[in-house]
């Protein structure tokens, strides 16, 4: 498994498994398959309501805690300098761990600057190793980075060959912030997966279109966290480190960018939802 070095010197596997929309009952088997296939990185969130199952799955396997890279995210209803510390403690408890490898602000709404300051203090306290953001646009990132003592190590956003995030990547470069792709497979969009270029390159390298897409993320320098509960998919998604796209092929993938998101929610609706949603995640594990 290849790793990237973050702007604080810690290392993160370039491929992880995402558990969004995975029910707790399915988390254990999915992570067991993932660990067996060589994954060492897991992406969850308070909002996924499966952190207890993720923590239990990590405890159950035979790997040492320090061999796992665990990412989770705080929901915006827990943002604020006074609110965030207890949200971090509750998160640690649900995950049944002493530290979180990477803690992200899940959304760009609410008192994210207050939350960030509390997250910086959690780093000093050893509860969190790295901190980052998710779904922040350039305007919010400019605001956060102008006040931050610790720059975001990671920016997690929707990213796939039809939405390549060129502008954001350029903005992140001076900060050394790594882009982490959610929806790396476009949430299995049939149009993206049937893109003729991926079939052509897959035939050339003896790989599936999905493997070609994941290889593109790796060579782009992105972190990819495809979700799967299918053991065969989990295995094959990890078999992307034994071939390499040429510069010309990377250029051909760059040329199919359509600036098309698959996750589309108007910002005013998203804002209302994010700020109104106060969910007690301790009681709402599923
Ligand atoms: N920060 C955020 O706001 C945010 C938002 C969305 C997602 N995320 C993170 O990103 C992760 C990935 O996103 P996502 O799950 O929505 O989208 P995704 O990884 O792009 O796509 C997942 C879909 O692809 C299918 N799939 C996986 N491997 C496949 C293969 N080899 N062949 C065919 N189909 C395959 C999965 O089905 P099977 O299970 O049947 O394989 C599932 O339906 C999430 O789990 C979460 O950790 C973060």
What pTM does this model have? 0.96
**Are 129 and 104 a contacting pair, CB within 8 Å?**
no
Q: Which of 20, 39, 48, 281 is catalytic?
A: 48
48 is catalytic: yes
**Per-10-residue mean pLDDT for the chain, 286 residues long?**
95 98 97 98 96 97 95 95 97 97 95 97 98 96 97 98 97 98 97 98 98 98 98 98 98 97 77 63 70
Q: Which residues pair with 130 in a beta bridge?
A: 102
**Are 77 and 49 a contacting pair, CB within 8 Å?**
no
pLDDT score of 263: 85
What is the C-alpha separation between 10 and 7, in angstroms, rounded? 8
Q: Which long-range contacts (CB under 8 A, 24 or more apart) does 6-9 make?
A: 6/130, 6/153, 6/154, 6/176, 6/178, 7/151, 7/153, 7/175, 7/176, 7/177, 7/178, 8/129, 8/130, 8/150, 8/153
Distance from the alpha carbon of residue 82 to the mean position of ligand 1, in angstroms: 34
Q: What residue segments make up the domains of the chain, in order of their start?
A: 3-276
**Which protein residue's CA is at the shortest distance from atom 25 of ligand 1?**
188
Using CB distances shorter than 6 Å, the residues near ligand 1 are 18-20, 43, 134-135, 156, 182-188, 210, 225-230, 233, 236-237
Alpha helices in 148-189 (DSSP H): 166-172
Radius of gyration, CA atoms only, the chain = 18
Q: Domain 3-276: what homologous superfamily? A: NADP-dependent oxidoreductase domain (3.20.20.100)
Could you identify the atom of ligand 1 that is nearest to the CA of residue 160? 20
Q: Which residues pair with 42 in a beta bridge?
A: 17, 70
In the chain, what's the furthest Cα-to-Cα distance? Answer: 55
pLDDT score of 285: 73
pLDDT score of 205: 98
């Amino acid at each position: 498994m290849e790793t990237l070095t973050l702007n604080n010197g810690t290392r993160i596997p370039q491929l992880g498994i995402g558990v969004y929309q995975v029910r707790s009952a399915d988390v254990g088997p999915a992570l067991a398959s993932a660990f067996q296939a060589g994954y060492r990185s897991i992406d969850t969130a308070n909002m996924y309501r499966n952190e207890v199952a993720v923590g239990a799955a990590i405890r159950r396997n035979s790997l040492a805690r320090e061999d796992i890279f665990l990412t989770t995210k705080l929901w915006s209803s827990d943002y604020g300098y006074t609110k965030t510390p207890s949200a971090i403690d509750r998160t640690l408890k649900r995950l049944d761990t002493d530290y979180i490898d990477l803690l992200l602000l899940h959304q760009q709404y609410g008192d994210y600057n207050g939350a960030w300051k509390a997250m910086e203090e959690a780093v000093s306290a050893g509860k969190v190793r790295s901190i980052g953001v998710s779904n922040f646009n350039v305007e919010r990132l400019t605001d956060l980075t102008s006040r931050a003592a610790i720059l975001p190590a990671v920016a997690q956003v929707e990213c796939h060959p039809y939405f390549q995030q060129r502008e954001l990547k350029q903005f992140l470069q001076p900060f050394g912030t790594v882009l982490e792709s959610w929806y790396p497979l476009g949430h299995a969009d049939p149009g993206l997966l049937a893109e003729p270029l991926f079939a052509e390159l897959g035939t050339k390298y003896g790989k599936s279109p999905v493997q070609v897409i994941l290889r593109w993320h790796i060579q782009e320098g992105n972190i990819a966290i495809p979700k799967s509960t299918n053991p065969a998919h989990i295995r094959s998604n990890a078999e992307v480190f034994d071939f390499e796209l040429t510069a010309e092929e990377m250029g051909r993938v760059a040329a199919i960018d359509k600036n098309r998101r698959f996750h589309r929610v108007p910002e005013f609706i998203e804002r209302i939802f994010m700020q109104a949603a106060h969910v007690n995640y301790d009681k709402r594990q599923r």
